[in-house]
Amino acid sequence: MGSDFDTKSAVDEIQKTAKADEKFQGTVSTQNLEKKDPIKVVIIGGGACGMAVATKIRRQSDFEITVISRDSHTAYSHCGIPFVLGREIESFEKLIVKPRDFFKRNRIDVKLNEYVSSIDLDLKVVRTGEETYPFDKLVIATGSLPFIPFTGNTNVLPYGIFTLRNLDDGVLFEKALETVERVCIIGAGTIGIECAAALSKRGIKTFLINRSKNLLSKQLDPDISEIIREHLESLGIEVISGKLAAYPENFWKEKTLYVWDRQLPADLILLASGVRPEVSLALEAGIKIGKAGGIIVNEMLQVKAREKFLPYVYAGGECVEIIDLITGEAKLSHLGTTARHMADIIGNNITGKYTPLGPLANPWVAVAGELQFGGVGITSKEAESHGIKINTGFSRGRTRASYYPGRKDLYIKLLFKDDILVGAQLIGGEGIKERIDAFSLAIRKKATIRDLLDLETCYAPPVSMLVDPLRPAVKAAIRNIKEKKEKQIQAK
């Protein structure tokens, strides 16, 4: 859980890992000797995790690999969809990272538009409507499904209401946008905000409706999310928060969205109200699901069934629970970077290279128009729910020298548990990704207030201020800690 190790314990840990790796590789080697036929690997899901597992295994083995995907495209960037809608990327085809022919050349059999109906762990087969696939190793990378708040008597979305689960959804939504003037987006997470900025850029009147009072309420503190709200409103987007939205079953006819006591005219509605892990196949197969709603896995990303972890079944991506670095509790991660990291670990373990997954800090970043924002670690709300007392420091600075052209605002909020950094939230016009990455490392290394205060920073007018905005944020945290201590003394 990110605890400190002295030299002796570090050596012990390395030796322990080496022995486990040796034993693990020996097991895989024995399996290879026992089997004359190549090991069959079946991967359910062709998203960021599934396709990356396939290519990883191919680079490291001669196994027989089959990927079963309900999508009609291979290896594409889902995160790029809002930027195609905003016409910063010219077409959806540009989001396809590797075409189907790439996988064919590398002897990876990709089954597109094929739905898995069941997994039989005893017989070691996966069944679809078309075929039965036997496996020696199985990877479940089913991802997630959009959360759809049904408000009528049917579970079918009315015409004119869209989600963005896959590339096909993006293509359909883009086609529909060609003739509309008003769009309502339900949900102010990263996808909802990025899409709102994209549509506004195209001159489409956009309403962004959020059930929570604050935007990105699970990822940012209210004072930070308010800066994003102001930016979106400056783009002409009407932001409505703290209100529930309902659409009529005959939306295609009424063209109206009901938000509390208002009736908003809308040609289209985009549902961006979050996702839920797709675990139905795993659940039906008897695989254990955790409290956070995802598949329970061990450090090797092997699933649990019948009260034990199965050495031949792995799971990764959005459908899996990870351990939070700060709280130590299970949670879900919807990040493409996490899915890709898991793919490497699964690929290594399947091919005999023991690789564990440790607790994660979940650094993330998003872009809406000219504004970048993101964070890492826990928020104030999350800390409160876990009984963690925190101290915060906030600063506002610039990304360049005050006299240098093109300077942009930069906001930094730091969260400390005692004197140790446990969270960071940033907003600005540039350089946010790099700063979040640095804070991610600082959190993992348990950097203290003193460490950050002593940090040496570089300077050049086109890329920074002489006094980096980090420093006043740290000093603000120190002042807040002193004030709390003084109040506690006075209270006594």
Instruction: State both tokens at 321.
Output: 């629970």
- pLDDT value at position 486? 86
What type of residue sits at position 30?
T
291 lies in a domain? yes
| Residues identified as active-site | 79
Domain that holds residue 260: 161-273
| 251/303 same-domain check | no
What are the tens digits of pLDDT across the range 54-73?
999 999 999 999 999 999 99
pLDDT (tens digit per residue) in 174-184: 999 999 999 99
Instruction: Indicate whether 2 belongs to any domain.
Output: no
- In this predicted model, what pLDDT tens digit does every residue of 323-336 receive, in sequence order? 999 999 999 999 99
Q: Is 111 a residue whose pLDDT tops 50?
A: yes
CATH number at residue 467: 3.30.390.30
Do 136 and 280 lie in a common domain? yes
| 267-321 tens-digit pLDDT | 999 999 989 999 999 999 999 999 999 999 999 999 999 999 999 999 999 999 9
Q: What is the pLDDT of residue 406?
A: 95
Same domain, 384 and 411: yes
Same domain, 135 and 177: no
What's the chain's average pLDDT?
91
With cut-offs at 50, 70 and 90, classify the pLDDT of residue 30. Answer: very low
Q: Provide Rg for the chain, Cα atoms.
A: 25
Residue 337 has pLDDT above 70, yes or no: yes
Number of domains the chain is built from: 3
pLDDT value, residue 393: 98
